[in-house]
Structure 1
Amino acid sequence: MATLPESYADTSKVQQKTNKFINQLAFLAIAFGIIIRLAQYISNRSLWGDEAYIALNIVDRSYLELLQPLDYDQAAPPGFLWIEKLAVQLFGNNEYSLRLFPLIAGIVSLLALYQIGKWTVSAIALPISLILFSCLKYPLYYATEVKQYSSDIMVGLLLCLLLIPLRDRILKKSKVFLLGFLGIVAMWFSHTAIFPLGGVELACLITSSPQKRKAIVINRLPAYLIWLIGFALYYLFIISKSIKNESLQSAWSPEYPKSIFDILWLLDSIGRFFHKPLGFVGVADGIAILAFIIGGITLYRSNRINLLILISPILATLTATYLHKYPFRTRLILFLTPYFILIIAEGAAFLLSQLNIAKFNQTKRRNYVGILGVIISCSLILPASFQAGKYLFQPETKYELRPVIAYIKAHQQPNDVLFGDGGGASAQLEYYAGKYGYSKSQYVLGYNDFLKKEEISDQVWSNFQKQFNQLQNQPRVWFLFSGIGLKDKRAEIVEPRLDRIGQKITYFEQPGAFTYLYQLK
């Protein structure tokens, strides 16, 4: 019986041990990502403004009513809203119920990324990509946010898991129609599903064998027709109604290029992507861009098929952006983060693969490149891991109005009234008031201009006074504030203006939110 040469057998054993160690690192990264997400979920922070607005739609509407344009300038796919509605009905109207589906989506995304990484990037890149996806700020944060961005990531990755293995394959008729049906389901759960769905399928077609390509197109034509008809109907009855919202349109308009030749916009938008929604901070931002470029070149040289598959959702999204159909901005493109992360990880992995300590003197140049890989990998991984690790002990908070309202409830007199500012506190107060037993006659929402730094005119004060008259002439009012930068505004703006209408009795503060109790004049 033939035997392997001893040196080859030793190399094989070393390779097996290396692969086992890399795989263990990957599973450790997944476990860490799940633990951090669970820690954030269990911390049960207050709903902030946007979360409260979407929660009010979910709680107050029926399943059919959730198909209509949402109140409070919100937009979300029906599938996401229905799952949220079901969770509230099953587990009660609370933060845990509302954040359960985003949490599950975040965990499923980690597992899906593991498999896609095994298919598309090198062995060393796999744990690097999983560590980054587990720890980077925004993919982590939105896994416990009552918004659809976490499920957008999950749906995109699940579509990749579905489509990549089907490349170069002729399907049975039943599977073709199932493929078409699953594409429609994906669209109903994610506004962005069309980009990985169309992008990855097109990439698989382009890279399939020329002899089979025509046969594959003919074979899958029913699925493509189902996707096109389904998307057209979905766009007509769901998306187009959100597009008509002028507030959303004005918020999105700066994120479109001026023309198809606007290359500066493209470079700027891609560059900003690494800061947000990826979450690299400071010099790590530039290092991540360098790693991304190296990763793209590496994949181009080693496996162009995998490179095209990974960048296809990005290219599809940018095409829609240049057509002014989808904004390329912050959390709206969070679903693209896994594809960027895989390419970044491949760049770091290529540099690391050049390191050979055993033959340092013989391969100095390559080892210097490998040392650069160590520096780059540490610069990307360590800050993100450290920040994510802090969430185990200090989970991230935003605008903690819930404990403020609980404080008011414990210290109020029978006829006290709540008055919420016209920003984030309005949404939060409207959501939490009912949960703490306040009727609509016991709180008032208003004064959007109150926190402006500019001098308030007599006319504006007159308008405020009309709103204050809604307080049913009660002498004691709790003024609630919630939002960004309030701490600086408190002494500079809030107190002086409230002092014009009454006398301060007490004050209570939580992160991102506070309340004043005033005796009105």
Structure 2
Amino acid sequence: MPSISTTLAVWVFLVLGIVLRLWHYLDARSLFIDEANLALNVSELPYEDFFRPLLYDQYAPPLFMVLSKVAVQLLGNHEWALRLLPLIGGGLLLFAFCHLNKKLKLTPAIQWFPIAMLALSPFLLRFATELKQYSTDAALALGFILLALQLPPERMKNRHFWMWATAGGLSLWFSMPAAFVLAGVGAYYFYGFLRQRNGKGLFCLSLAGAVWMLSFSALYITVLKAGTEQEVLVNYHAAYFFPVQLLKAAAWQQLGGIFYGLLSPVLGFTVAGLIIGISLLLWGSYRLFQQGPGLFILIAVPILACFAASAFQLFSLIPRVSLFLMPLFLLLAAYGASEAWKSSGFYVRMALLALLILEAAPFVNSLNRLGNSTEIENLKAVLAGIKAKDKAGPAYIDNMAVPAYRYYSEWHSQKQLYRLPGEVLLSWDSNLEEILEGQRQADGGFWLVFSQLISDGARSRKDEKRAVAEKLAREKMRVEKIGAAGYWYGYFGMKE
């Protein structure tokens, strides 16, 4: 039985995780480029168009888009409505994870560890409040694993097969990684029925599997196929496909980068934390395979199926897209820690406890976000600041800022606060010098507006465009916020 202190620790971390997610949600940070492109799809498209490839090189499951649009139509077009579904997914993920911890029967001294890592992970906090399907993917994955454990093979009745067929078929339209989770569910029941020599169960399972396959085929033809054929998207994700030429050194370097991206958000960003976490994950996998092969299949098959699809370049292992795998890795590591605790003496246990605290300690920094801004690229503040300056001349919106600017100026419920007079939306191939030269006689000055300034490369491109502007004009004013900026230039020889 867990002690009062253990139960209290679990609840403290669970509550902290919920409070942090609510703070990130209520802070309503500016949408970044991918969110903005998805928000434009939500705002511009009718419901039926969510069941075909989306605009602006975006992918999101059709039913996720449907529910997002329902939220916008009921609550208004703003960040809170757009991010409501991811917030719910992030909360459900925490509770489902707690229930799975109980199913694993972790030793009480270890139970706080996986909850703390999941609740405080900066990566999971961000994507629990971002207009993307990643938190709902993870919540659905754990929900299906819990449902399978609640209905083990020996308890399955005809109605349960119908339930699985329906729920599984629908889930694919709500979460693409559900395909991998259903592979695990199918393997779990197949293993159980095979051990029981339950021919009827195997037959019913095959019928449910056929429904899943038909549903996935329809999804692939109508929505997914177009994405796999876009060379731009394939090239973008090339570094995140599971390498198959493992005899080459570059493949192992690529594999190391992939696993760092998948494991560090839940096992720690430090070298020591990762070494500890990976060791526990491997030990936990081995022990769970020995002691609970059915549960091991349920957790491991989705991981292996995902890797196999990635090897065929059908699924990207970029961390945010594969976020649903992270709680599974953490479960295995927690099981490894629990097994190590059970088989150790006092001094080894104290050392293990110290190592777990060391692994979790960096994540405590997430608490510093409470009461502070969660902005990543604060375009809203830049646009409001530019309007407050009331300077004449057109505003040239850099191509990387165009999606967010379009959403805020055309669709946001407070669009009047963000729409700039004389806006000019630049594309990736716009000749800025030629455009500015053409405006020289018409205006005394102009704004350059940038967003997504979150990398050295993006800031270098901003500096290049500012250098072009400075051939013709002098900077007179600036509005700079985190990840976004606006600069007003007066033409040489012109009156302000």
Q: Work out whether 1:281 is the aligned partner of 2:269.
A: yes
In the alignment, which residue of structure 2 is the partner of 1:268?
A: 256
Give per-residue Cα distances to partners, 1:276-319, cap 9 Å, x unaligned.
55472122222221221232233234333333322221111112
Pick from 368, 371, 375 the counterpart of residue 350 of structure 2. 371
1:459-474 alignment runs, 5 A limit: 464-466=433-435, 469=438, 473-474=442-443
1:64-75 alignment runs, 5 A limit: 64-75=48-59
Contact 1:164 1:200 in 2 (8 A): no
Pick from 157, 174, 179 the counterpart of residue 194 of structure 1. 179
Q: Go from structure 1 to structure 2 and tell me whether the alpha carbon gap of 1:498 and 1:261 turns closer, same or farther (over 3 Å shift).
A: closer
Considering only aligned residues, what root-mean-square deviation do their CA atoms show, in Å? 2.7
Q: Which amino acid aligns with 2:202?
A: V
Q: Which amino acid aligns with 1:98?
A: L
Q: Work out whether 1:29 is the aligned partner of 2:7.
A: no
Q: Work out whether 1:430 is the aligned partner of 2:399.
A: no
Pick from 377, 381, 384 the counterpart of residue 406 of structure 1. 384
In the alignment, which residue of structure 2 is the partner of 1:325?
A: 314
TM-score where L is the length of structure 2: 0.89
Q: Which amino acid aligns with 2:398?
A: D
In the alignment, which residue of structure 1 is the partner of 2:455?
A: 485
Q: Work out whether 1:303 is the aligned partner of 2:273.
A: no
Contact 2:117 2:267 in 1 (8 A): no
Pick from 130, 135, 138 the counterpart of residue 123 of structure 2. 138
Q: Which amino acid aligns with 1:341?
A: L
Contact 1:256 1:321 in 2 (8 A): yes
In the alignment, which residue of structure 2 is the partner of 1:388?
A: 366
Give per-residue Cα distances to partners, 1:126-172, cap 9 Å, x unaligned.
33211111111211210001111111111111111222222213644
In the alignment, which residue of structure 2 is the partner of 1:205?
A: 190
Q: Go from structure 1 to structure 2 and tell me whether the alpha carbon gap of 1:237 and 1:489 turns closer, same or farther (over 3 Å shift).
A: closer
Q: Go from structure 1 to structure 2 and tell me whether the alpha carbon gap of 1:470 and 1:416 turns closer, same or farther (over 3 Å shift).
A: closer
Q: Which amino acid aligns with 2:72?
A: V
Contact 1:133 1:139 in 2 (8 A): yes
User: For 1:469 and 1:279, how far apart are their aligned partners in 2?
Assistant: 55
In the alignment, which residue of structure 2 is the partner of 1:442?
A: 422
User: For 2:240 and 2:455, how far apart are their aligned partners in 1?
Assistant: 24
User: For 2:60 and 2:407, how far apart are their aligned partners in 1?
Assistant: 18
Contact 2:265 2:326 in 1 (8 A): yes
Pick from 444, 467, 492 the counterpart of residue 496 of structure 1. 467
In the alignment, which residue of structure 2 is the partner of 1:420?
A: 397
Structure 2 unmatched runs, 5+: none
User: For 2:477 and 2:408, how far apart are their aligned partners in 1?
Assistant: 21
User: For 1:41 and 1:234, how far apart are their aligned partners in 2?
Assistant: 31
User: For 1:204 and 1:105, how far apart are their aligned partners in 2?
Assistant: 26
User: For 1:258 and 1:431, how far apart are their aligned partners in 2?
Assistant: 38
Give per-residue Cα distances to partners, 1:10-50, cap 9 Å, x unaligned.
xxxxxx4x444433322222211101100111111111111
User: For 2:477 and 2:302, how far apart are their aligned partners in 1?
Assistant: 53
Q: CA deviation at 1:120?
A: 2.5
1:26-425 alignment runs, 5 A limit: 26-124=10-108, 125-169=110-154, 171-208=156-193, 210-259=195-244, 264=252, 268=256, 271-275=259-263, 277-278=265-266, 280-283=268-271, 284-353=273-342, 366-384=345-363, 386-413=364-391, 415-423=392-400, 425=401
Contact 2:394 2:422 in 1 (8 A): yes
Q: Which amino acid aligns with 1:473?
A: A
User: For 2:304 and 2:254, how far apart are their aligned partners in 1?
Assistant: 11
Q: Which amino acid aligns with 1:319?
A: A
Contact 1:205 1:213 in 2 (8 A): no
Contact 1:51 1:145 in 2 (8 A): yes
Instruction: Tell me the percent identity.
Output: 26
Q: Which amino acid aligns with 1:430?
A: R
Contact 1:52 1:431 in 2 (8 A): yes
Q: Which amino acid aligns with 1:442?
A: G
Q: Go from structure 1 to structure 2 and tell me whether the alpha carbon gap of 1:29 and 1:343 turns closer, same or farther (over 3 Å shift).
A: same
Moved more, 375-384 or 45-54: 375-384
Q: CA deviation at 1:478?
A: 1.5
User: For 1:220 and 1:293, how far apart are their aligned partners in 2?
Assistant: 31
Moved more, 91-100 or 280-289: 280-289
Q: CA deviation at 1:64?
A: 1.1
Q: Go from structure 1 to structure 2 and tell me whether the alpha carbon gap of 1:173 and 1:367 turns closer, same or farther (over 3 Å shift).
A: closer
Contact 2:184 2:302 in 1 (8 A): yes
Contact 2:243 2:254 in 1 (8 A): no
Contact 2:393 2:447 in 1 (8 A): yes
TM-score where L is the length of structure 1: 0.85
Moved more, 462-471 or 322-331: 462-471
Q: Go from structure 1 to structure 2 and tell me whether the alpha carbon gap of 1:492 and 1:188 turns closer, same or farther (over 3 Å shift).
A: closer
Contact 2:440 2:491 in 1 (8 A): no
Q: CA deviation at 1:506?
A: 0.7
Q: Go from structure 1 to structure 2 and tell me whether the alpha carbon gap of 1:277 and 1:192 turns closer, same or farther (over 3 Å shift).
A: farther
Give per-residue Cα distances to partners, 1:417-453, cap 9 Å, x unaligned.
2211122x1222111223136779721122647xxxx
User: For 1:200 and 1:467, how far apart are their aligned partners in 2?
Assistant: 60
User: For 1:463 and 1:121, how far apart are their aligned partners in 2?
Assistant: 62
